[in-house]
């Protein structure tokens, strides 16, 4: 294994690789999808298995820096790697209407059949990807195309409602609009005239005319777990998937819960890996350690697509990074901990340790029944980082910081200093006896590791819209003043609390800017004692703990030749008005300017966003996102800009969206939308 950023570049591979910059893959309805392919140069004489990655992020330029090192590497070890743009994106023809649409799956099934029939393919196909590509790997696997034998899904989910960027525990995530505004920008970009030809402008204008702000029109319009979200959620019928699944995630990513859940429920061969990483591939992830995942992935492909490496089947089903406390004052490049494995998951060795939320702290025995009232300031969440950290590091820390600032204004329950090390692996759960004084309310719980110095590290967290306490499909308002018992599962985690440290539970009634606040301020009454308890999934300490899997040094093929013309920059700043109580968080992620030398293309990308809220006024919450992207070469110069803003009243969401497109400095398209969407128990 290596530190983050220390990936070894490998140029001498077993096979000489032939790259095909562009191939049309025809669809039955006449549309053509654009693919880029890497393969051994003798594949037509000696056919090889194929690996498909299928996403909308422009193989031509946007993902080129990551595509080359990964796909060239696997091609150099005897695979044909196909990077395919989804219909209506990049150079692919047609239109895109939403993420994970039925048309997207239909096209993938056709593309896999086309790939399997090529003279350079052995007829066996794998599928892989991160985020969108991880999602549709699962969704396409559920369609059972005959040639698809195995997938590797990174940073994805089996449940589009409960475990995606839109909602968490029935609470609206601001990530819905961060991603929704990015989606509007990404899908509006033009193709490259060198591939699309003279019709590139007509295709671009058609693409622009058909864009819609789906963050409002679809994602926010479906606030319950209805048929819209069930589509593409493979948890609806696990038995649909019969090919081999390797599920990979990171504890600092937004999608790690799906990995143990898939291992527990999939009926076919399944393997899981969770590192300390954010939303990144394991070979170049932050926080480190990065690992030699391309080699590990190669072993997976060899086993399922070539019939090699029989010992691979005997390795543990789940391997995870078990972290431990380190100062969370800054975004960390390297995590402290070690690799551990479980032969099967769920592990039969896990035991539940119960701690009661007593008025004087966490304890193994229930104390007196005492009701504690709490109302958090709306600014709780300033130390949360991002819901889905991309592991950026540097000047824009998107990982959780020292939790003491948020702990100080939360309802906190501390355990006594631990006499010995305590390791947990799985999803902590809480049973809480509560009442609220308003019909719409939420509860947010963080589990923290508190060092003897007082520093507080967030281990995991969870949120629950109390209207959804019984059902995400049929929510019902709370009865003010009525005491109810709720169950809240926190995100899965793997953590070691060292001796001398304390376990802390921090309860709050808001968590902005991660979760959108309830429609009005409310007081939460929590009954301590026997009615409220924390249940920890404890992993027994083992003298002979064997990681089970040994990862090699992180390595990849060479990246493409790229010249940085303007370096990227980022920042995350918080301002407070001490008189009004307003808090403003401003973030900048400016990608700078670069030129991809192989295709002589200049690329410009970036975003800024701002979150505002005032103590005591949840309806003051407001957020705005700006995105820009531009591609140019010679006389061709095409760019898009997007702005999206959300605010709310007690009963309505207000979303405004703006899309502009430019050729050089000349605006060629402009459209604005205003959507007022009723709040539905949210």
- pLDDT tens for 100-132 read 999 999 999 999 999 999 999 999 999 999 999
Task: Give the residue, 392 or 546, on which the prediction is more confident.
Answer: 546
Q: Of 447, 465, 473, nearest to 535 (Cα)?
A: 447
Residue 117: other Cβ atoms inside 10 A: 10
What pLDDT is stored for residue 180 in this prediction? 98
What pLDDT is stored for residue 545 in this prediction? 79
Q: In whole angstroms, how large is the CA radius of gyration of the chain?
A: 25
Please check whether residue 33 is in contact with residue 87, taking contact to mean a CB–CB distance below 8 angstroms: yes
Beta bridge partners of 617: 614
Instruction: Please give the structure tokens belonging to residue 132.
Output: 């969108």
Beta bridge partners of 148: 125
Res. 629 pLDDT band, cuts 50 70 90:
very high
Beta bridge partners of 187: none
pLDDT at 463 over 60: yes
- pLDDT tens for 50-75 read 999 999 999 999 999 999 999 999 99
pLDDT at 320 over 60: yes
Task: Give the residue, 549 or 500, on which the prediction is more confident.
Answer: 500
- pLDDT tens for 503-529 read 999 999 999 999 999 999 999 999 999
What pLDDT is stored for residue 395 in this prediction? 43
What pLDDT is stored for residue 391 in this prediction? 57
Average pLDDT, the chain: 95
Taking residues 292-307, report their average pLDDT: 96
Lowest mean pLDDT among 119-128, 284-293, 654-663: 284-293
What pLDDT is stored for residue 650 in this prediction? 97
What is the C-alpha separation between 75 and 537, in angstroms, rounded? 41
What pLDDT is stored for residue 113 in this prediction? 98
Res. 329 pLDDT band, cuts 50 70 90:
low
Taking residues 592-604, report their average pLDDT: 97
Give me the percent of the chain exceeding a pLDDT of 90: 92
What pLDDT is stored for residue 623 in this prediction? 98
Res. 2 pLDDT band, cuts 50 70 90:
very low
Which residues 6+ apart lie within 8 Å of 247 measured at CB? 153, 156, 258, 259, 262, 263, 270, 271, 272, 273
Please check whether residue 106 is in contact with residue 114, taking contact to mean a CB–CB distance below 8 angstroms: no
What pLDDT is stored for residue 547 in this prediction? 80
Res. 668 pLDDT band, cuts 50 70 90:
very high
Taking residues 354-368, report their average pLDDT: 98
Q: Of 104, 127, 103, nearest to 50 (Cα)?
A: 127
3-state DSSP call for residue 478?
coil
Phi, psi (degrees; rounded to nearest 5) at 69: -65, -30
What pLDDT is stored for residue 314 in this prediction? 83
Phi, psi (degrees; rounded to nearest 5) at 248: -125, 135
pLDDT at 606 over 80: yes
Which residues 6+ apart lie within 8 Å of 555 measured at CB? 7, 8, 9, 10, 73, 283, 292, 294, 295
Sign of CA dihedral 87, 89, 95, 100: positive
- pLDDT tens for 203-220 read 999 999 999 999 999 999
Which residues 6+ apart lie within 8 Å of 471 measured at CB? none
Please check whether residue 57 is in contact with residue 45, taking contact to mean a CB–CB distance below 8 angstroms: no
Q: Is 338 exposed, middle or buried (0-12, 13-18, 19+ CB in 10 A)?
A: exposed
What number of CA atoms fall less than 13 Å from residue 615's CA on the CB side?
14
What pLDDT is stored for residue 98 in this prediction? 98
pLDDT at 250 over 70: yes
What pLDDT is stored for residue 396 in this prediction? 53
Taking residues 302-324, report their average pLDDT: 89
What pLDDT is stored for residue 330 in this prediction? 54
Res. 671 pLDDT band, cuts 50 70 90:
very high
Res. 392 pLDDT band, cuts 50 70 90:
low
Res. 4 pLDDT band, cuts 50 70 90:
very low
Taking residues 165-189, report their average pLDDT: 98
């Amino acid at each position: 294994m290596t530190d983050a950023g220390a990936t070894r570049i490998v140029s001498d591979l077993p096979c000489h690789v032939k790259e095909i910059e562009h191939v049309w893959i025809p669809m039955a309805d006449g549309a053509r999808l654009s693919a880029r392919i890497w393969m051994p140069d003798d594949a037509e004489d000696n056919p090889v298995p194929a690996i498909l990655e299928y996403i909308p992020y422009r193989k031509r330029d946007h993902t080129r820096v990551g595509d080359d090192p990964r796909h060239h590497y696997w091609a150099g070890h005897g695979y044909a790697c196909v990077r395919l743009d989804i219909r209506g994106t990049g150079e692919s023809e047609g239109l895109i209407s939403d993420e994970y649409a039925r048309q997207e799956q239909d096209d993938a099934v056709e593309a896999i059949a086309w790939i399997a029939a090529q003279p350079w393919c052995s007829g066996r196909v794998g599928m892989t990807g991160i985020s969108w590509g991880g999602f549709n790997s699962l969704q396409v696997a559920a369609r059972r195309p005959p040639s698809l034998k195995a997938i590797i899904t990174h940073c994805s989910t089996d449940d589009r409602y409960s475990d995606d960027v839109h909602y968490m525990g029935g609470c609206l995530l601001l990530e819905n609009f961060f991603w929704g505004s990015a989606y509007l920008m990404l899908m509006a970009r033009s193709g490259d005239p060198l591939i699309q030809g003279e019709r590139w402008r007509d295709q671009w204008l058609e693409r622009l005319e058909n864009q819609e702000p789906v963050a409002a029109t679809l994602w926010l319009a479906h606030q319950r777990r209805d048929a819209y979200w069930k589509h593409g959620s493979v948890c609806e019928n696990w038995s649909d998937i019969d090919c081999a699944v390797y599920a990979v995630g990171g504890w600092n990513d937004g999608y790690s819960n799906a990995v143990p859940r898939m291992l527990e429920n999939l009926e076919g061969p399944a393997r899981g890996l969770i590192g300390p990483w954010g939303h990144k591939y394991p070979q170049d992830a932050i926080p480190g350690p990065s690992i030699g995942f391309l080699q590990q992935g190669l072993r997976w492909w060899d086993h399922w697509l070539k019939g090699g490496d029989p010992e691979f089947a005997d390795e543990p089903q789940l391997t995870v990074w078990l972290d431990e406390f380190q100062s969370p004052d800054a975004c960390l490049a390297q995590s402290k901990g070690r690799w551990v494995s479980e032969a099967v998951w769920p592990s039969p060795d896990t035991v539940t340790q119960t701690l009661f939320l007593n008025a004087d702290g966490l304890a193994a025995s229930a104390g007196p029944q005492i009701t504690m009232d709490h109302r958090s300031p709306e600014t709780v969440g300033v130390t949360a980082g991002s819901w889905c950290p991309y592991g950026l590091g540097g000047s824009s820390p998107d990982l959780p910081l020292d939790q003491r600032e948020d702990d100080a204004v939360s309802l906190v329950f501390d355990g006594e200093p631990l006499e010995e090390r305590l390791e947990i692996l799985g999803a902590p759960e809480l049973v809480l006896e509560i009442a609220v004084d308003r019909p719409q309310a939420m509860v947010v719980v963080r589990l923290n590791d508190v060092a003897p110095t007082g520093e507080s590290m967030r281990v995991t967290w969870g949120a629950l819209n109390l209207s959804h306490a019984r059902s995400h499909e049929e929510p019902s308002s709370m009865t003010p003043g009525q005491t109810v018992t709720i169950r809240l599962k926190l995100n899965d985690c793997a953590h070691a609390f060292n001796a001398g440290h304390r376990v802390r539970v921090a309860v709050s009634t808001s968590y902005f800017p991660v979760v959108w606040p309830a429609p009005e301020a409310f007081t939460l009454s929590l009954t301590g004692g026997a009615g409220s308890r924390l249940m920890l999934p404890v992993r027994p300490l083992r003298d002979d703990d064997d990681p089970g899997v040994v990862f090699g040094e992180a390595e990849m093929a060479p990246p493409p030749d790229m010249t940085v013309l303007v370096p990227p920059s980022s920042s995350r700043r918080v301002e407070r008005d001490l008189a009004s109580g307003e808090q403003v968080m401003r973030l900048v992620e400016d990608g700078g300017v670069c030129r991809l030398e192989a295709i002589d293309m200049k690329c410009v990308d970036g975003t800024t966003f701002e979150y505002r809220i005032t103590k005591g006024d949840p309806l003051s919450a407001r957020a705005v996102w700006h995105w820009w992207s531009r591609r140019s070469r010679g006389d061709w110069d095409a760019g898009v800009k997007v702005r999206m803003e959300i605010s709310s009243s007690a009963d309505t969401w207000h979303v405004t969206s703006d899309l502009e497109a430019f050729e050089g400095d000349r605006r060629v398209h402009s459209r604005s939308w205003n959507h007022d969407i009723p709040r539905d128990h949210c």
